[in-house]
Structure 1
Amino acid sequence: MDRAILISIFSFAFGIFVSSFIFLTPVVSTFFIVTALAMMLGEKVWTGKIEKEILFVALALISFGLGSLRYAVKDFHEAALPLREGVVVSEPEQRDNATRFVFKSDNRERALVSTDIYSPVQYGDRVKIDGKFKIPEMIEDFDYPAYLAKDDIYSTMSFAKVEIISSGHGNKIKSALLKIKHSFVGKIRENFSEPYASLLSGLLVSGRDAMPKDILEEFRKAGIIHIVVLSGYNIALIADFIRKVFRNNWLSIIAILLFVIMTGAEATVVRAAIMVLTVILAKMLGRKYSAPRALVFAGFIMLLENPKILVFDPSFELSFLATLALIYVVPIVHKYLKFIPEKWSKLKEVVATTIGTQLTVLPLLIYSIGDFSVVSLPANVLVLLIIPYTMFVGFAAATLSYVSAFLALPLAYLAHLLLAWIIFVSNFLGNIPFASLAVPNVSAWLIALVYASGIIFVWRWRNSPRHLTN
């Protein structure tokens, strides 16, 4: 049963992958499905039963056809420019001296709009925009049109003049959650100076959108940018905290779903949340939890909702690979760190996690970005150990400040010290001349070969007599 499900899911994903590069008409996709059904029917009539091999092949063909059909449905779009009036359907973000938001016009077309950085526009505002709509173009080797199209955005407008007509046209729940988020970030800014306020906001609720550009660049060069992108690591800590606070499975599920909505439901957040929710549901149903199955299930749900993220969303790809590394690669690395004493088990865990995840995502990073951090290992070792404490103390300080800023002062001071250490590490290591090395363009086939070799190595290691004995 498990094998049949895995074959179906991977064939579905492969159908999406092929359709991302080669246009398959619905007729071709339907042909795969009809062929598979005819194959099973013929086998049943001819032999009186359906052999396992025939069933698996049929399932693969049907799932491939369904995957390509799902992509075709998502990719269908009749070209049309947005109208001038519509609603702001995303949380506006300040980036590159501008305020950016997704605009959904009255003809249901979406556009990515950039306006003045001090614009008061908010999620749910009905606005009238003035400017020139443009069709997105390729940025060197980056397929920017496909990247935006995954979110149904087919137009952009820069330097737009925005007139707010009315407010309150967004989802009521999301609007309320964003108000809570803005209030919480406001409390953080009241208790912490910059850049510490932005860093703490990034760790807890805002991701890297809250961070100044120069600090982000230092984090990227130091190889610790993942701590401020609301990665699976952050979400796992937050979800575990929520579960312990509520001590009720249903309340925990609701709280985690609300948190996902509040943070914008990005790929890393959704994947991590699905995996955590799978853990909770498994405990509720008295079932054993399997991390690989949970990851495959999370990926399948996300592809079903938006198939374009498989190829055109680097965030999804990197987070999925990093989680695979935690499951399959980190245990291998851990075995080779015997020189680290067991009394330093936390340090050993951080070193293994850093090496395992960095090795796994490195080929994709080199292919998509063109550089990698040489100082990533020491930076992560110096930072990751204190991230849970920084998040907890910072959250407690901001929450307590609603009652009394004076009572929150000791916790705010402690959080400030922890945040200052993170900033210091990123500043010191990120500004070393050789911290980040550029790599020439490499072939996608070479990257595929590297990952294929890695899969074979992991498979052989997991099936080796020594590992099976242990």
Structure 2
Amino acid sequence: MNYNIINSKSKTFIAFCFSFLIGVVIASIFKFNFDYVVWGFVFVILIGLLVAFRKSKSKVFIFVNVLLIILGICRYNFALPNDNEKYISHYNGNKFKFVGYISTEPDVRIVDIRYVVQSDDLKGKVYFKSTLYPRYDYGDRVEIECDLVTPEAFDDFRYDMYLANMGVFSLCVNPYVSRLDGYGGSIFFREIMKYKNIFAGQINKLWHEPYASFMAGLLYGYRGGLGDLQEHFNRTGITHIVAISGYNISIISIMLITIFVRLWIPRKKAFWIIIFCIFLFVIFAGASGSVVRAGIMGSIVLLSKYLGRKNRMANTIIFTAVLMTIYNPFVLVWDIGFQLSFLATIGLVYLLPILEDKFKKFPNLFSIKTLFLSTISAIILTFPLTLYQFGRFSIVAPVVNILVLWLIPFIMLFGFISVLLSFLFYPIGQMFAWLTFLGLKYITFITVWFSTFEYSSVEFQVPLFFIFVIYFVIFFIIYKLKK
């Protein structure tokens, strides 16, 4: 037994957090025939052993970790629907009619719209695709008749678990949808969506496609309407700029705090200004699970820059992972965005300071060095997982990120100002929109030009074991360099 861990409150806390997460991972990979009586009995026995051996630190440490592993397994299984008439998934495989409300922001694509509906009378949500018109908004009450189907994995993609992240365990096929009177869901969120739709309409007036969708992606994470530009973003490794991710918010936050400090704004004031901006951004973007997660990850990176100390950041990061997993246990194994956000955050918190120290002799003209090192730190930590999940690695990503990321905060700022001014006096808003368009055009040109290179991205499959080896080497190097 390693008494350095037992005698350290910080390391003990991290070990306990990892035990809970391990339990969730075990439950995610292996299916249990969950019997609450048996698990309750095991839990009681462990509690008894914990009390019996309470004077032995090592035995207490072991028992608590085992208890937390069991709790992780239980939390995952509690999130799964029961097979009884109270759950809508019980009726999968049948034609079914139910009444509910649109429970998330509709996912508008080029050819269709995807909706998630919360049933009024039954537990659980249903996912269905519909035509672009008629459209339904968040909170609209609807009556749906369709064939309920259990989601299944296909082509090595766990589509079932992708939907489980949203609390969905039923697909609605061939839906017949009727709009009903009244509304459901959160009044607050419904008001946000109303103003957001007005804002989106103004964006479509100021810019044409795909630049309107590009601007919407920058300002609030809209992913539809990009067309071929989306593939160019994928090949050059800058998809994150039109996705609300912890990586994206973190990079922008680091750039802003660097700029503020150079403008002689006190670090403390700069910190709180950016935190407030992140909060407003999360609210405006809809405060969905992924958006809140991105805001938290960005705030953690900002906190590490503000405090300048890394000794407690490990506790903060791992505890944040535990809290998010308690809220939604499916994200830990089945949400690639969750995993990439945490890895990018680790890179920006731990690897970035090391690289900054190694390159301290180089000038930081226009914050280009900070941007470059931040990008490299995030890429190093995320590329093995990206390689495993997508079978693709963008060779030109570091260069393209350097060429375009410095411009993103300014495009977001002037894009936001353009929309606000257009409500007051449209011609002035249009003038700012033209200036912003030049920035959008520049990024599009750089992205398309680099993506046309034959080897801009390389596709090949890597076994999972090899990915673990790569991460072991990366973390070992970071640990050694920190010393």
TM bracket, shorter-chain basis:
0.7 to 0.9
1:468 is aligned to none
Shift of 1:167: 4.2
Question: Which residue of 315, 338, 341 corresponds with 1:319?
Answer: 341
SS at the partner of 1:342?
A: coil
Q: Quick check: 1:386 aligned with 2:407?
A: yes
1:274 is aligned to 296
Cα 1:334–1:346 shift into 2, 3 Å: same
Of 208-217 and 271-280, deviating more is 271-280
1:136 is aligned to 151
2:86 is aligned to none
Q: Quick check: 1:191 aligned with 2:206?
A: yes
SS at the partner of 2:223?
A: helix
Q: Quick check: 1:376 aligned with 2:377?
A: no
- Aligned CA-pair RMSD: 3.4
1:467 is aligned to none
Shift of 1:173: 0.3
1:297 is aligned to 319
Matched to 1:151, the amino acid is M
For 1:383-402, what per-residue CA distance to the aligned partner results, in whole angstroms no more than 9, with x for missing partners? Answer: 11111111111111111212
Q: TM-score, normalised by structure 1?
A: 0.85
Identity level (%): 31
Shift of 1:70: 0.8
Shift of 1:411: 2.2
Of 352-361 and 256-265, deviating more is 256-265
Shift of 1:215: 1.3
SS at the partner of 1:141?
A: coil
Matched to 2:101, the amino acid is V
Structure 2 unaligned segments of length 5 or more: list them. 1-8, 84-88
SS at the partner of 1:100?
A: strand
Structure 1 unaligned segments of length 5 or more: list them. 464-470
1:438 is aligned to 459
Cα 1:323–1:331 shift into 2, 3 Å: same
Cα 1:311–1:264 shift into 2, 3 Å: farther
Whether contact under 8 Å (1:127, 1:165) holds in the other structure is yes
Aligned mates of 2:303, 2:45 — CA distance in 1: 37
Q: Quick check: 1:450 aligned with 2:470?
A: yes
Whether contact under 8 Å (1:148, 1:154) holds in the other structure is yes
SS at the partner of 1:165?
A: strand
Cα 1:362–1:215 shift into 2, 3 Å: same
**Matching of residues 332-411 of structure 1 within 5 Å:** 332-337=354-359, 341-344=362-365, 346-411=367-432
Cα 1:216–1:159 shift into 2, 3 Å: farther
SS at the partner of 2:90?
A: coil
Q: TM-score, normalised by structure 2?
A: 0.83
Matched to 1:188, the amino acid is I
For 1:221-244, what per-residue CA distance to the aligned partner results, in whole angstroms no more than 9, with x for missing partners? Answer: 111001110122544558989x99
Shift of 1:292: 3.4
For 1:307-358, what per-residue CA distance to the aligned partner results, in whole angstroms no more than 9, with x for missing partners? Answer: 11100111111111111111122334445557x8314372222222222222
Cα 1:372–1:211 shift into 2, 3 Å: farther
Aligned mates of 1:360, 1:28 — CA distance in 2: 40
SS at the partner of 1:63?
A: helix
1:43 is aligned to 53
1:330 is aligned to 352
Shift of 1:95: 1.8
For 1:107-126, what per-residue CA distance to the aligned partner results, in whole angstroms no more than 9, with x for missing partners? Answer: 23322110112222111111
Shift of 1:55: 3.6
Shift of 1:430: 1.9
Shift of 1:7: 1.6
1:2 is aligned to 10
Q: Quick check: 1:15 aligned with 2:29?
A: no
Aligned mates of 2:211, 2:192 — CA distance in 1: 23
1:308 is aligned to 330
